[in-house]
Structure 1
Amino acid sequence: MEFERYLLKTLLNHLLPNKVNLIFGTRRVGKTYLLKQLTARTAYRTLTLQGEDYDTQQLLAQRSIANYRRLLDGVELLIVDEAQEITDIGLILKLIVDQIEPLRIVVTGSSAFDLANLSGEPLTGRAYFHQLYPLAQCELAPYENSLETRQRLDDRLVLGSYPELLQLSGTADRQEYLKNLVNTYLLKDILAFEGVRNAAKVKDLLRLVAFQVGKEVSMDELGRQLQSSKNTVEKYLDMFTKVFVLVRVGGFSRNLRKEVTKTSRWYFTDAGIRNALINDFRLPALRTDAGALWENYLIAERLKILQAQRRPVEFFFWRTYDQQEIDWLELENGQLRAYEFKWSDNRATITRTKVPKAFADAYPDATFTAIHRDNYLEFIGG
């Protein structure tokens, strides 16, 4: 079954002469598949290059206008897949986009690509940046009815949404796929960063964070458990966000002294990766962390739909020192929205969910909504 990725329409709208569209995402998230969908929907004369191909690397290494004009003669759309493997790709693209007209460029890469090659000067003002997540519920919705969506929810909380999982029928095969994904592609991207050598420590840190999803993480405590410095832990956690494995959520405050702001919560962009790290693929009904699974799933899916809708939303959690808290806050165009996530299907429990008094007093114009299994599809665009 083929799914139209949510970035496709955005890319088609941004295929402009002498602009570069940069698509970032983890390995196996579907970047190459998205490129195939893109070329099928355009009539441009296209040249596709594979960044992992040695001949491609050598072809682009000769950084001269004459070389690139020969290569791109008659080409209207240039695609470079896995471009992080090409040395100085940012400078190469800058020369091409400035000197060869009219040319549209689409480039994919893992996160190391951004830090190593494209941060700073080379493509300033010349590029659109896009992040591709695993499959979103809004992408799956056209291909399933409401009953199928409900029946598949447990699997999505446990196994996540990497596209290739849909091609595997057995539960054991899907679990094995996720374990291999963690141990090969995911760690490969992380270890590509300069100064990261200890794969075991990196994986141990991710495991510790996986056990604390939805909780505030103490850098000092993680450092003690790993026998590493607080600075090293902070560096690695920042790196995990840049390889699109983790999402950092900070505390919200408008200077109320009793609000917590100096700690962060961390969520995985895909629940399957989180569960593979802790080697727990049990169904939510059999787990003590079902609430954390639900919270992580909703946040990952919310980020996908917000990106699909191209909405510039800031997000936070909220807590006071006397333990009043809200799971998820969004600030958009001055409007503050608060959401509390409830996994329980007990109607009385859901009905009792009220906005904390301290929050209501401090932010009377904010909205408050409990997100549960009866209304979650409205929240994630499904």
Structure 2
Amino acid sequence: MIERAIRPHLEAHLRSNKVLVLTGARRVGKTVLLNQLADAFDGPKMMLNGDDLSTAELLNDRRVASYRRWLGTTELLLIDEAQVIPDVGRALKLLIDSFPNLTIVATGSSAFDLTNRTGEPLVGRQLLYTLYPLSQLELSATETYPQTRDRLTDRLIFGSYPDIVRAEHIPDRVDYLKGLVSSYLLKDILLFEQIRNAQKMLQLLQLVAYQVGNEVSNDELSRQLQIDRSTVVRYLDLFTKVFILFRLGGYSNNLRKEVTKSAKWYFFDNGIRNALINNFSLPNQRNDIGALWENYIIAERLKRNAYQRSQAVPYFWRTYDQQELDWLEEENGQLAGYEIKWHTNPVRYPKAFRTAYPEALLQTINPNTYLDFIA
């Protein structure tokens, strides 16, 4: 069993009299982690599932006496798939306010349907966490260095969902990813946002998949899909809330020619990206290996920073005359810029950046140097 990096942070608050909200994409291991938290807790506990209608009935009878009847001496209440329970936030608030020895862990498969439903009623009473597909930070604890290097190709092509990491055969991985895309990827959006045009949403994801590493124009996406620009913006926002995509904005501090309004989009998992474009070819057989490598490194860095509670704010950097850096972090006033390259040739860093930010750290992330950056 691979230890999830977020688990110690959750265990440290299991007697906090707060609601620990754990979000993340479907199939990343939230239920497994919930069971591990239950096993590790040495006090009275109860596990509920939001998909069970009786759970909604228990929570919707919003009387303290009713809650006391079925809670008994419970000190840890774990609710899986909490997002499907109507008005779950108010129920959780009443529970936490009424039972000072109670802590609640609630999971959900998207940000908009769980945190929005628990949001306002739980201000000051909740702690938010996100579980991602397996990170190299987590995998490194179970692998030797040669094993990690040998498995790099697999992670570039098939990603790191837990079931993918466990699957031994390539056809099984391909089938799993295609099933994930067709059956689960948009499930929360279609269910909770009442959107009917799943085909346009998949087409939008495919267009973004082909533009990984490049700045994305909402107007161009709108023209290609023949839908309103506002619809494109809304769909992209929803994709972030179900942990398919994340946005990277441009950095600027003191150069008038720096680009700040554009955005780049990346996938949380390479396997999902490759499934969308139906390309599982090996790195030496494809013309998008640079984009694939960039997406992998940036997603892994994002996971690593999140799990280590880094306060670094990420950006990309580019000028209007096309000088650019793939990844930039600012933390406590210190800048660090990174070029992410699949090749291992020497890299020349942008002169404009070196001139404008002479104190910034500059580094190249390639297959020889990447592990220290992401793990």
Common topology (TM > 0.5)? yes
Cα deviation 1:41-68 (Å, max 9, x = unaligned): 2212110000111111222221111111
Work out the CA distance in 1 between the residues paired with 2:255 and 2:362.
19
> Counterpart of 1:264?
263
* C-alpha displacement of 1:167: 3.0
SS in 2 for 1:299: helix
- Contact 2:250/2:263 (CA < 8 Å) preserved in 1? yes
> Counterpart of 1:188?
187
> Counterpart of 2:368?
374
> Counterpart of 2:251?
252
Work out the CA distance in 1 between the residues paired with 2:330 and 2:179.
37
Work out the CA distance in 2 between the residues paired with 1:296 and 1:16.
38
> Counterpart of 1:117?
117
Cα deviation 1:280-320 (Å, max 9, x = unaligned): 01111111000111100001111111111111221100000
> Counterpart of 1:361?
355
Work out the CA distance in 1 between the residues paired with 2:118 and 2:74.
23
Work out the CA distance in 2 between the residues paired with 1:283 and 1:71.
55
SS in 2 for 1:312: coil
- Contact 1:4/1:37 (CA < 8 Å) preserved in 2? no
> Counterpart of 2:330?
331
Work out the CA distance in 1 between the residues paired with 2:231 and 2:107.
29
Cα deviation 1:311-359 (Å, max 9, x = unaligned): 12211000001110000001111111101001014xxx2x2x1321100
Work out the CA distance in 2 between the residues paired with 1:218 and 1:144.
40
Q: Which moved more, 1:185-194 or 1:283-292?
A: 185-194
Work out the CA distance in 2 between the residues paired with 1:253 and 1:240.
26
Work out the CA distance in 2 between the residues paired with 1:229 and 1:195.
18
Work out the CA distance in 1 between the residues paired with 2:34 and 2:308.
20
SS in 2 for 1:321: coil
Work out the CA distance in 1 between the residues paired with 2:230 and 2:53.
37
Work out the CA distance in 2 between the residues paired with 1:56 and 1:97.
17
> Counterpart of 1:66?
65
Q: Which amino acid aligns with 1:58?
A: E
After the TM superposition, which residues 275-314 of structure 1 pair with which residues of structure 2 at under 5 Å, given as runs? 275-314=274-313
TM-score by length of 1: 0.96
Cα RMSD, aligned residues only: 1.1
SS in 2 for 1:21: strand
- Contact 2:113/2:192 (CA < 8 Å) preserved in 1? no
Work out the CA distance in 1 between the residues paired with 2:280 and 2:198.
23
Q: Which amino acid aligns with 2:39?
A: A
Question: Segments of 4+ in structure 1 off by > 6 A?
Answer: none
* C-alpha displacement of 1:215: 0.4
Cα deviation 1:192-219 (Å, max 9, x = unaligned): 2324221111111001000000000010
SS in 1 for 2:186: helix
- Note the residue ranges of structure 2 that are not aligned, 5 or more in a row: none
- Contact 1:161/1:272 (CA < 8 Å) preserved in 2? yes
After the TM superposition, which residues 1-40 of structure 1 pair with which residues of structure 2 at under 5 Å, given as runs? 2-40=1-39
- Contact 1:83/1:113 (CA < 8 Å) preserved in 2? no
SS in 2 for 1:122: helix
- Contact 2:327/2:339 (CA < 8 Å) preserved in 1? yes
- Contact 1:330/1:336 (CA < 8 Å) preserved in 2? yes
Cα deviation 1:210-239 (Å, max 9, x = unaligned): 000000001011001110111110111111
Work out the CA distance in 2 between the residues paired with 1:131 and 1:180.
23
Work out the CA distance in 1 between the residues paired with 2:94 and 2:282.
52
Q: Which amino acid aligns with 2:193?
A: E
* C-alpha displacement of 1:262: 1.1
Work out the CA distance in 1 between the residues paired with 2:192 and 2:252.
34
Answering whether residue 320 of structure 2 is matched by residue 321 of structure 1, we say yes
Work out the CA distance in 1 between the residues paired with 2:283 and 2:55.
47
SS in 2 for 1:306: helix
- Contact 2:254/2:356 (CA < 8 Å) preserved in 1? no
Work out the CA distance in 2 between the residues paired with 1:334 and 1:260.
20
SS in 1 for 2:133: coil
Task: State the identity as a percent.
Answer: 55
Q: Which amino acid aligns with 1:67?
A: S
Work out the CA distance in 2 between the residues paired with 1:162 and 1:42.
26
Q: Which moved more, 1:189-198 or 1:129-138?
A: 189-198
- Note the residue ranges of structure 1 that are not aligned, 5 or more in a row: none
Q: Which amino acid aligns with 1:214?
A: G
TM-score by length of 2: 0.97
SS in 2 for 1:23: strand
* C-alpha displacement of 1:15: 1.9
> Counterpart of 1:155?
154
Cα deviation 1:79-133 (Å, max 9, x = unaligned): 00010110011111001000112111111001142354123x2110001100100
